[in-house]
Amino acid sequence: MAEILGVGMTHYPGMMTLGSFAGLFRRTLAHAAVSSERKDPASWPSAMRLEVERGQDAEDEHRARHVAAFRELRAAIDRFQPDLVLIWGDDQYENFREAVIPPFCTYIFDELENRPFERFGDGVANLWNAPSDTGLSLKGHRQAATELVTGLLDEGFDMAYSYKPSQSSGLGHAHVNTVVFLDVDRRGFDYPVVPVATNCYGRSVISHRGFVRFDNPDAEPDPPSPSPKRFFDLGAATARILRDSPYRAVMIGSSSWSHAFLTDKNAWLYPDVQADQARLAELQANEFYRWRDLSLAEVEDAGHHEFLNWIALAGAMTELGHKARLVDYVESYTYNSNKAFALFEG
């Protein structure tokens, strides 16, 4: 029986650059779709006003806590010495667009070249002073990925698969950023990766191109994403397959939690902090099995679209009987999303 380590983390794009974390907040604040009443700081939560007042100090603290958490997660992975690292990450209108939107898709490859900084363009500074055309070569695990797809098909999951990305820069940012952040100190990341792309954006993936809703809030919605139950059950099935395999595996659910630009009820200005705090309490109480019973309507209302990746992880960890240890929970009103970091072990 193979050993498995669970990891929950963020792939927050803001950490890829040295720009302001509040850029999207300021853009939203200036948008005509946001009413003058909602733009008034008097209508904001007090913690939100304080974060704005703290300015650069708040941003510096936010970044430092991310880096510390990435280092702790990487240390745990290095101690575990996996044969493969599976990453559930959303495709945000990147490799899957109008031609096809699969609910889930596993990438099968031996090695894959990526350019993680290309989307930001030249002249955008990053933490590592890397040029925009910097490459990232990822090892894959063709045999394990093929066996996983086969096993999931046997389990009743119609898992799509792909031998290469459709965009020239490689995998979507959810997968690539995850590896970049786990190698925050640039020591290299030689563990074979099995990326599983998920359709978390559902009704917004084409209509809003997997991004802001306030630019065109009345756009006709797409079909929905798979349900939390389906994500959870997929994670459980994946855990059974890898548990019975010869591979030591790390399983990563990669996403921030509630996203401001998806939280309509907050005028897209700040995330659903209350919903995130409820999920955090369940995580700390090792009651993340409850996430299977969330409805898709609840997920969408809270801006928890990408949190579905954590629900797949929760299904796997529940199946294995693993317990969670919170590494950090970084709350923010104006940096688009709250971020959690956790390890799951038996």
Q: What is the DSSP string of 98-143?
A: TT---SEEEE--SEEEE-TTGGG-TT---TT---TT--EEEEB-HH
For residues 16 and 174, the answer to whether their CB atoms sit within 8 Å is: no
pLDDT category at 213 given cuts 50, 70, 90 is confident
Q: In the prediction, which pLDDT does 214 show?
A: 87
pLDDT category at 121 given cuts 50, 70, 90 is confident
- In the predicted structure, residue 1 carries a pLDDT above the cut 80: no
Token representation of residue 37: 């009443």
The DSSP bridge partners found for residue 251 are: 6, 86
253 sits in which H/E element: strand 249-254
The DSSP bridge partners found for residue 279 are: none
pLDDT digits (tens, 9 = 90+) for 94-112: 999 999 999 999 999 999 9
pLDDT digits (tens, 9 = 90+) for 9-21: 999 999 999 989 9
User: The pTM is what?
Assistant: 0.98
* pLDDT averaged over every residue in the chain: 97
Q: In the prediction, which pLDDT does 203 show?
A: 96
In terms of pLDDT, which residue wins out, 213 or 139?
A: 139
Q: Which domains does the chain have, with CATH numbers?
A: 4-345 (3.40.830.10)
Cα 178 from chain centroid? 8
The DSSP bridge partners found for residue 137 are: 113
For residues 332 and 51, the answer to whether their CB atoms sit within 8 Å is: yes
Q: In the prediction, which pLDDT does 115 show?
A: 97
Averaged pLDDT for residues 270-294: 98
Q: In the prediction, which pLDDT does 302 show?
A: 98
pLDDT digits (tens, 9 = 90+) for 27-78: 999 999 999 999 999 999 999 999 999 999 999 999 999 999 999 999 999 9
Q: In the prediction, which pLDDT does 311 show?
A: 99
- Which one-letter amino acid corresponds to residue 248? R
pLDDT category at 218 given cuts 50, 70, 90 is confident
Averaged pLDDT for residues 281-294: 98
47 sits in which H/E element: helix 46-54
Rounded to whole angstroms, the Cα distance separating 204 from 211 reads: 8
Q: CA distances (Å), 1 to each of 85, 151, 247, 316, in order?
A: 17, 16, 9, 15
pLDDT category at 124 given cuts 50, 70, 90 is confident
The DSSP bridge partners found for residue 330 are: 339
pLDDT category at 116 given cuts 50, 70, 90 is very high
Q: In the prediction, which pLDDT does 123 show?
A: 78
pLDDT category at 328 given cuts 50, 70, 90 is very high
Q: In the prediction, which pLDDT does 217 show?
A: 84
- In the predicted structure, residue 174 carries a pLDDT above the cut 80: yes
In sequence order, the 6+-apart residues with CB closer than 8 A to the CB of 197 are 89, 90, 91, 95, 96, 102, 104, 105, 106, 107, 162, 172, 174, 175
